[in-house]
Each structure stands twice: as C-alpha cells, then as structure tokens.
C-alpha cells in the first residue's frame, strides 16, 4: 500500500515539473512516506526526519514532509521531528500548494488522493488501491487510527485505472486495501469485471480478513482464469481466546473451514499468513494451538512477528507479560515449521510446468519470477533479460528453500 502511495506522490510532483533524485541531500523536497505497523519503524522515521531537518543548516531551502501512517498525529509528529509539513495521504493532492509551489496551468490536476494518476515504478506489475482504512479495530493494530475508517473507491474509477494499466503493458494487477473483502461496492463483482477484460494478465489482491472471506469469493477465484490462486489469509493466532482478546472476529474452526474450501477448489493454492507471537497473556499451551495450526495448514509463507505494544491501541493497556526471550523462542519454533512446510510444498511441484511472470535478475544472477501461487521461481537455463516482464513456462526441477528452481520450456507473448 505504501509503495502504491509513493507512486501517487511521484506523479503529483511530476505535474508540478519536479523529478526525483537518488540522494536526498540533492533534493529540494524530501517526502517520508511512513509506516507505523511496528514501533521500530516509527523510531527509524523520527531519527531520519530529525537528521534531515538538521540538514537545513547546509540547505536552507530544503523542505521535509511526513505523510503516510504517522501523519494523522500531525502536530505531535511535527514537534518530535522538526519537519516542515505533516500531511495525511488523503490530502496529498494539496501538498505542493502547502509547500508554496506555483500551480501549473494544466487543468487536469488531481483533486483528491484516488484521482491522482500514479507514476508506476514497474511497467508490468501495477498496484491499484481499491479502498483504504479499516473498521475492524483489532486490539493490537494502529491502522484504524492512522489510515482512518474504511473508504472504498468507485468501481468505475478502478476499472478505468486497470484498463489504462493494461493498455500500457501491465501483466499483473495487484488490488490493494487494508481489508479488500469489505470493498463497499462488491469485491466479487469487481474481480469478475476485471477478469472479463481482454488480454493476458494476472490479478492478485491483498489483504483479506477471514471474517469477510466468503465461499463465493473462493469459488470466483477458483473459476476465473486471470485471478491468481494465491490468498494472503491472516490468522494472527491459533487460539480462540487469544483471537478474542485481539478482537479478531473469526474462530479457528471458521478459518479452517474456509481453508478446506480453498484447498478443495484450488489444490495448488498458495497461502500466506500473518502471526503474532507473545500477545499479552498468551500461555505456552495457547501457543501450541498456533503450532498445531501451522502444521495443519502448511503455509507457503508466514510473516511472524513478536508482539510489541503500539501506543494508544486497546492492547497497549494490557499487560505485556510474555518475556522477550519467550517471544523469540516462539518465533523460532514457528519459523522452523514454516521453512519445513514451504519446502515440502515446493518439492511437491517438481516435474510440473508452471506459468511464471519473469520479474528481475535475482541475487544468484538468474532470472527470477513468480508463479500464480506467488511462489518464487528461479530460472536456471537462461539469462535472457528480454524475458523480464513476460509470461513464460517453466518446468520445476527442485526446491531451493521457500522457492523453486526450474527450466524455461516455452515462451509466449513475445
Ligand atoms: S483487519 Fe488488519 S488493518 Fe484492520 S485493524 Fe485488524 S490488523 Fe489492522
């Protein structure tokens, strides 16, 4: 979501005749697009913003701006960091004027955040926000306070942006929102309309919450050619009492029923999740429920974090009574399970031929891409960089940890 916001920031400043530079010390305006998901992320922003503000001694014209998740705490953030402007993402279109920049003559200036035509950082992988904010108020989470309440973008605007991206060569569209399943104007209908657009492309989305996941959505993914068989399905904990304290509105039984439906309709579905270990009062016995869940679901990827209290969230008022050493131990236990199950899942693909979107040259010097299940595929028998941004077919030869190696068999679309 933040990457997509940054594309919109770049686009609006381009309308004012600005361009980006690689070293912030050469910039006239530095915009820090912040994430508040962890306290450590916020601490890093405060440190960097202070250093940038102090740099004005050498460049008195420098303006430093904070936007993103920290922005709703405006004055407090400005005071802590010394930056010039703190502005929320939804007010972004007004930022150049707030900085005193001369309005360009173009009458096509965006009036609000969603109407900004973004400057995509990749020509073939495009991120399109469909909604922002969240009404769920999980007790550990700052998003409802930083991003605000849910706001859905009109379907016609989303479809227009998708069509423009496809005309410009997009091969993969990722629909973004904190809670895409609760898209106000019908998420399933939106997916069906995008799937019906002509062209060879994939559609992904993130994030989904179990309480809003419907069997209709699962069946639509399973039967729609362009919707990828990959679901990020955040569980957070494997124990119902902890889920309740987190204000998650699903039980493990409901989660597993949806998981069973996904596997039944899409045997090759890739599933990832978010898990917090050491939530206040989580006993070892309750943690063992998360261990059992991980063993049962066999995730392809899990983003496991040690609980850390976020100021002013409901969980902040709970006693953070699991020691840091115990949180680390629990994190290691789950990471070990993840590595094993992801490897086993990857090994089960050996011999299969998968469609892959080639993304880049990886750190081993090989072409790297993703299959529809969001598994990373390294291609070992060619380094033809012209394939980047193209769909190819790859026969899987072995697992390489969380991903797989494979050999190019057929190219198409080029
Ligand atoms: S659903 Fe996600 S974004 Fe919304 S409050 Fe819960 S964790 Fe935060």
DSSP state of 340: H
Rounded to the nearest 5°, which phi and psi values hold at 335? -65, -40
Mean pLDDT of 392-407: 94
Which is it for the CA torsion 167, 168, 173, 174, positive or negative? negative
Any idea how long the chain is? 414
- The model's pLDDT over 316-345, given as tens digits with 9 standing for 90+, comes to 999 999 999 999 999 999 999 999 999 999
Is any atom of ligand 1 closer than 6 Å to the C-beta of 303? no
**Ligand 1 probe mutation, 131, 178, 248, 279, most atoms within 8 A of CB:** 178
270-277 β-sheet, strand order: 230-232, 270-277, 301-306
266 in Cβ contact with 229 (< 8 Å): yes
Is any atom of ligand 1 closer than 6 Å to the C-beta of 211? no
Is any atom of ligand 1 closer than 6 Å to the C-beta of 136? yes
174 in Cβ contact with 180 (< 8 Å): no
- Residues of CATH 3.40.50 domain(s) within the chain? 2-98
83 in Cβ contact with 65 (< 8 Å): yes
Domain 2-98: state its class: alpha beta
Whole-prediction pTM: 0.82
- What is the CA(206)–ligand 1 centre distance, in A? 12
Q: What is the pLDDT of residue 414?
A: 40
Instruction: Please list, in sequence order, all residues whose beta carbon lies within 8 angstroms of the beta carbon of residue 105, skipping any fewer than 6 positions away.
Output: none
Q: What is the pLDDT of residue 413?
A: 44
Which is it for the CA torsion 16, 22, 26, 27, positive or negative? positive
Q: Lowest mean pLDDT: which of 44-48, 113-117, 244-248?
A: 113-117
Q: What is the pLDDT of residue 410?
A: 65
Fold assignment, 114-347: pyruvate-formate lyase- activating enzyme (3.80.30)
**Token duo for residue 86:** 């703190």
Is any atom of ligand 1 closer than 6 Å to the C-beta of 143? yes
Which of 293, 296, 290, 274 minimizes the C-alpha distance to 329?
Answer: 290
Strand partners, 306: 277
- Residues of CATH 2.40.50.140 domain(s) within the chain? 353-411
| CA-nearest residue, atom 8 of ligand 1 | 141
- Residues of CATH 3.80.30.20 domain(s) within the chain? 114-347
380 in Cβ contact with 397 (< 8 Å): yes
CA distances from 335 to 277, 304, 338 (A): 11, 8, 5
Instruction: Please list, in sequence order, all residues whose beta carbon lies within 8 angstroms of the beta carbon of residue 388, skipping any fewer than 6 positions away.
Output: 358, 359, 360, 361, 367
pLDDT over 80 at 394, yes or no: yes
- The model's pLDDT over 93-124, given as tens digits with 9 standing for 90+, comes to 788 888 888 776 555 555 666 666 677 778 89
CATH code of the domain occupying 353-411: 2.40.50.140
3 state SS of 375: coil
- What is the CA(131)–ligand 1 centre distance, in A? 13
What is the C-alpha to C-alpha distance for residues 338 and 402, in angstroms, rounded to an integer? 9
Q: For all residues of the chain together, what is the average pLDDT? A: 90
């Amino acid at each position: 979501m933040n990457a997509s916001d940054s594309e919109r920031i770049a686009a609006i400043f381009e309308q004012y005749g600005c361009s980006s530079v690689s070293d912030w010390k050469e910039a006239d305006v530095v915009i820090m697009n912040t994430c508040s998901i962890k306290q450590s992320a916020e601490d890093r922003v405060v440190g960097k913003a202070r250093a940038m503000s102090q740099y004005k001694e050498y460049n008195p014209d420098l303006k430093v701006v904070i936007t993103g998740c920290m922005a709703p705490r405006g004055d407090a953030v400005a005071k802590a960091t010394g930056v010039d402007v703190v502005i929320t993402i939804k007010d972004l279109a007004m930022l150049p004027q707030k900085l005193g920049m001369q309005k360009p003559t173009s009458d096509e200036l965006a009036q609000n955040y969603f109407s900004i035509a973004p400057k995509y950082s990749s020509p073939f992988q495009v991120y399109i926000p469909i909604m922002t904010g969240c009404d769920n108020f999980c007790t550990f989470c700052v998003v409802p306070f930083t991003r605000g309440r849910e706001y859905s973008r009109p379907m016609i605007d989303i479809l227009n942006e998708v069509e423009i991206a496809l005309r410009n060569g997009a091969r993969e569209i990722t629909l973004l929102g904190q809670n895409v399943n609760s898209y106000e104007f019908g998420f399933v209908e939106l997916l069906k309309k995008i799937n019906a657009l002509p062209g060879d492309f994939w559609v992904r989305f993130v994030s989904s919450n179990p309480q809003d996941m419907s069997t209709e959505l699962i069946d639509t993914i399973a039967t729609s050619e362009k919707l990828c068989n990959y679901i990020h399905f955040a569980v957070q904990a494997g124990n119902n009492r902890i889920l309740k304290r987190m204000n998650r509105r699903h039980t493990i039984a409901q989660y597993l029923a949806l998981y069973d439906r996904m596997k039944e309709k899409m045997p090759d579905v890739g599933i990832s999740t978010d898990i917090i270990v050491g939530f206040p009062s989580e006993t070892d016995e309750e943690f063992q429920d998360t261990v059992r869940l991980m063993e049962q679901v066999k995730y392809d990827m899990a983003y496991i974090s040690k609980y850390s209290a976020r100021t002013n969230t409901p969980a902040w008022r709970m006693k953070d009574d699991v020691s840091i050493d115990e949180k680390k131990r629990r994190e290691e236990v789950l990471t070990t399970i993840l590595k094993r199950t992801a490897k086993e899942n990857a090994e089960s693909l050996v011999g299969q031929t998968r469609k892959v979107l080639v993304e880049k040259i990886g750190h081993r010097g090989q072409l790297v891409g993703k299959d529809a299940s969001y598994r990373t595929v390294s291609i070992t028998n060619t380094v033809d960089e012209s394939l980047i941004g193209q769909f190819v077919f790859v026969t899987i030869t072995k697992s390489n940890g969380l991903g797989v190696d494979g050999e190019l068999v057929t190219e198409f679309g080029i």
